[in-house]
A = this chain, B = another copy of it.
Amino acid sequence: MAEVAIVGASGYTGGELLRFLIKHPNIEIVAAASRKHDGVPIHKIHPHLQNTGLKFKNIDPEDIDADLVFTATPHGASMKIVPKILERGIRVIDLSGDYRFDNVEVYEKWYGIKHEHPLDAVYGLPELYRDEIKKADLVANPGCFPTGAILACLPLVHKNLTKMIVIDSKTGVSGAGINPSHMTHFPECSDNIIPYQITTHRHTPEIEQELKKISDVQVSFTPHLIPIIRGILTTVHAFLEENIDVEKIEKIYKEYYSNEPFVIVIDETPEPSAVRGSNYCHIGGFGIDKNNRLVVISVIDNLVKGASGQAIQNMNLMLGFDETEGLDNLGLHP
């Protein structure tokens, strides 16, 4: 049994980490840290997690004793906590944006804050960095939009098939976290669609960083808030450099992901409901129009493959467990 702790356990990503870890056969949760809810049983915030005996604790990160810590803290907060935990020889999976960038200047420009403690980290996308993750002390868990977007584009850029990609993403409201706001107020966002940060979203440079490492591609990104709870549907509009059959494209995708446990290339058009609550990513919906524009669709659950599930997948890799341990539940459809 490995001992793990969660810092920031009262948010939605914290709740999802708990949901998976409670049932994980090799894990003991030694702390569910939350400053705001010290002493509160976790089911008061996470009503689906009954009878666990767990309570939130306002624990100083320096007092955590564990084999691995998840920091499910906001960007800006993680950089203050992560170094202290690492110093004590504890491995960390950070779910914020603080350690995702190779170049700290890119981080500082897009996040608008000074980085206080830059550190080397492995970008926690197992489909790209499986071997590095296994050995890492610090894994930077990818953003939700980048996970859906990168997975949808990887085979294309790997094969150098496009130089120009427009990514139009649609996300569920849980991506905004547990704190209420005007935009997430039901009467405002229900029965509505809200484009936001249409050319300035912070996940743009994260997507670029990973795709441009593979080939020279121009990436444009725009996100929209959709009245669903969970799920990101990513519509990739990629202009192809050469004439190529759509069947060939599908074959390339299927081969590329043939050994991946959580990425499934399907013959149909993906829908978020098929992966709801699960760690799967479905990719499909391939079409090419007369402008040689290829459309590819990917779907993930933003809280699972887009956050906490992927973090558990990374933990499994780091701790030497089967990569799918504790993550094998099927999507909840309908």
Using a CB–CB cutoff of 8 Å, the interface residues on chain A facing chain B are 12, 15, 19, 22-23, 43-44, 46-51, 166, 168, 170, 172-174, 178-182, 184-196, 198-200, 204, 218-220, 222, 224, 226-231, 233, 235, 237, 264, 266, 268-269, 271-278, 280, 282, 285, 287-289, 291, 293, 295, 297, 299, 328-334
Whole-angstrom CA separation of A43 from B275 in the bound complex: 12
Q: List residues of chain B with CB within 8 A of the CB of A273.
A: 47-48, 188, 191-192
Question: When A and B form their complex, which 4 residue pairs have the shortest distance between CB atoms, in order from nearest?
Answer: A48-B331, A199-B287, A187-B334, A47-B274
Taking CB atoms, residues of chain B closer than 8 Å to A168 are: 166, 168, 235, 237
Q: How far is the CA of A297 from the CA of B278 in the complex (A)?
A: 29
- What is the bound-complex CA distance between A287 and B197, given in angstroms? 9
Bound CA span A179–B186, Å: 10
Look across to chain B and name the residue whose beta carbon is closest to the beta carbon of A47.
B274
Q: How far is the CB of A287 from chain B (nearest CB, A)?
A: 4
Please tell me if the beta carbons of A295 and B193 are within 8 angstroms of each other in the complex.
Answer: no
Identical copies of this chain, number: 4
Contact indicator A275/B189 (Cβ below 8 Å) = no
Q: Given the known A-B contacts A191-B228, A196-B269, are A295 and B47 also in contact in the complex, defined by CB atoms under 8 Å?
A: no
Give me 16 A-to-B residue pairs in the complex whose CB atoms sit less than 8 angstroms apart, sorted by A's number: A46-B333, A48-B274, A48-B278, A49-B330, A50-B264, A51-B264, A186-B189, A187-B229, A191-B230, A193-B233, A195-B285, A198-B235, A198-B285, A199-B289, A218-B291, A226-B227
* Closest B residue to A303 using CB positions: B334
Let me know if B229 and A334 touch, CB within 8 A. Answer: yes
Contact check, A222 vs B235: say whether CB atoms are below 8 A apart. yes
Query: Which of B15, B198, B219, B295 sits near A297, CB closer than 8 Å?
Result: B198
Contact of A193 with B231 at beta-carbon distance under 8 Å, contacts A23-B328, A268-B47, A333-B47 already known = yes
CA gap between A274 and B289 in the complex, in Å: 33
Query: Which residues of B have CB within 8 Å of A222?
Result: 235, 237, 295
- Return chain B residues, CB-CB under 8 Å to A200: 287, 289
CA distance A173 to B192 in the complex (A): 12
Q: From residue A146, how far is it (CB to closest CB) to chain B in Å?
A: 16
Complex Cα spacing A275 to B272, Å:
20
Q: Say yes or no: A192-B227 contact (C-beta < 8 A), given A185-B180, A237-B222, A329-B329.
A: no
A182 vs B293: C-alpha distance when bound (angstroms): 29
Chain B residue at minimal CB-CB distance from A219? B291
Contacts of A15 in B (CB 8 A): 333-334
Residues on B with beta carbons closer than 8 Å to the beta carbon of A272: 191-193
